[in-house]
Amino acid sequence: MKKVGLVMRKIQFSEAQGPRVFAERLRTLAAELGVEIIFISPERHVSGHDWIPGYEHEKGDLVNYDIVLDQIHAQGIEHVIFTVSGFTYLKMFIPKSVLFPHSFPDPALTGYEMMKPFYSIVDKAVVQTEFLKKQLDSVFGVTDVDVIPIGFSEELAHRYFDPAAIVHNRVLWIGRDEENRRPDLVLEYARRNPDQEVYMVFGGERYRESMKKYDIPGNVKLQFALSQAEIFQLMNSAKVYWSCSRFDTFAMPLTEALAMGKIVVKPEHPCYDHISSRHAFAGNEQNWFELVNMALASPLSHSMDNREYAFEKFSSSVMKEGYRQFFDGWLN
């Protein structure tokens, strides 16, 4: 079996959110394609100081190169996928290195200026959306880019799909307690709409503490670090899935929401252009509350159009075929 190293931060491997879910899916499908994915991360990280100038994640990654390279060489690995820009310099040691970005230098994201120098030396990347491929080309001149979705679990999307279980006043939001994700907007919506039931799901247990700084309305239910099965079960029960982030690299819950037939309310930003089915409505801070209420008031309880679109564009089968083609070219 050919070995491929997957380099991520320690905290990304430890939390039940996007990066960890991606890592698990990639490892499973790669094994089916005859490729062994080896998880690699530094033992130390700087997450506790992330927003102090000089201690940003990407700069902190630089002091971890010795640990990461030791693991790569110990495993005899010649091909590496790294998911954070701070490890871009791996290409100096491992020529067959590919970036799969979990973040992107966009003005909506904290630290985007600090990320840009790392992106300036990327020469090969895999991204989830056509928007990111265009950005890598137009902003950084990176032209060797494959677009492969992080495919949702078709098995879970079939197992938990049950329109009879939909709660017709339930809105679901999945994110983090971060400025970019706008949890404050969701709480304000709930305050203004006490008859609606709002679920807010956070990927890591660390947000249980940080959410204590907010005044949580009684119609808001907070959930932390749910399993994929729990996510799909809860997703099925909601009528509307709402994303109000400023920018997103993965947008995984949005594709899962489409797959579960949710009526979707999303941002107008072009990074969400791939979420473009019949019952996916783009808005902004001025009209999101109205859009969410209009979606809740729809005579439709769910959207088969959204579900069919997701299975065609974002399923695990689509992801597997994408990586089959990518590995065929990259590993040979």
pLDDT score, position 10: 81
Q: Domain check: are 304 and 161 in the same one?
A: yes
Q: How are beta strands 238-242 and 263-267 bridged, if at all?
A: parallel
Q: Domain check: are 235 and 292 in the same one?
A: yes
pLDDT score, position 206: 84
Confidence label for 50 from pLDDT (cuts 50, 70 and 90): low
291-297 average pLDDT score = 98
pLDDT score, position 56: 65
Confidence label for 251 from pLDDT (cuts 50, 70 and 90): confident
Rounded to whole angstroms, the Cα distance separating 269 from 149 reads 19
Domains of the chain: total: 2
Q: Domain check: are 19 and 142 in the same one?
A: yes
Q: Domain check: are 142 and 177 in the same one?
A: no
pLDDT score, position 161: 98
Q: Domain check: are 47 and 108 in the same one?
A: yes
Q: Domain check: are 132 and 159 in the same one?
A: no
- pTM of full prediction above 0.85: yes
Rounded to whole angstroms, the Cα distance separating 48 from 41 reads 17
Contact 192, 214 (CB under 8 A): no
pLDDT in tens, 191-240: 999 999 999 999 888 899 999 999 999 999 999 989 999 999 999 999 99
Confidence label for 266 from pLDDT (cuts 50, 70 and 90): very high
Which percentage of the chain shows pLDDT scores above 70?
Answer: 95
Q: Domain check: are 62 and 6 in the same one?
A: yes
Q: Domain check: are 213 and 309 in the same one?
A: yes
pLDDT in tens, 300-317: 999 999 999 999 999 999
Q: What DSSP character marks residue 150? A: -
pLDDT score, position 115: 85
pLDDT in tens, 69-126: 999 999 999 999 999 888 999 999 999 999 999 888 888 777 778 888 889 899 999 9
pLDDT score, position 315: 96
Contact 186, 223 (CB under 8 A): no
pLDDT score, position 198: 98
Q: Which is more confidently placed, 299 or 59?
A: 299
Which percentage of the chain shows pLDDT scores above 90?
Answer: 76
How big is the CA angle at 72 (ends 71 and 77), to the nearest 5 degrees? 145
Q: Domain check: are 254 and 238 in the same one?
A: yes
Query: How far, rounded to the nearest angstrom, does the alpha carbon of residue 52 sit from its chain's CA centroid?
Result: 24
pLDDT in tens, 144-189: 999 999 999 999 999 999 999 999 999 999 999 988 999 999 999 9
What's the token pair of residue 102?
């979990």
28-45 average pLDDT score = 90
Domain that residue 294 falls in? 154-313
Q: Domain check: are 231 and 106 in the same one?
A: no
Mean pLDDT in the chain?
Answer: 92
pLDDT score, position 316: 95
Is pLDDT at 7 greater than 90 in this prediction? yes
pLDDT score, position 74: 96
Phi–psi pair at 260, nearest 5 degrees:
-95, 10
278-283 average pLDDT score = 98
Contact 274, 147 (CB under 8 A): no
Confidence label for 52 from pLDDT (cuts 50, 70 and 90): low
Q: Is residue 33 classed as helix, strand or coil in its secondary structure?
A: coil
Rounded to whole angstroms, the Cα distance separating 154 from 174 reads 20
pLDDT score, position 132: 95
Cβ neighbours of residue 107 closer than 8 Å, sequence gap 6 or more: none
Handedness of CA 274, 321, 103, 154 (dihedral sign): positive
Rounded to whole angstroms, the Cα distance separating 183 from 195 reads 19
pLDDT score, position 47: 53
Q: Domain check: are 27 and 175 in the same one?
A: no
Q: Domain check: are 35 and 145 in the same one?
A: yes
Rounded to whole angstroms, the Cα distance separating 13 from 15 reads 6
**CATH number assigned to the domain comprising residue 224:** 3.40.50.2000
127-154 average pLDDT score = 95
Confidence label for 44 from pLDDT (cuts 50, 70 and 90): low
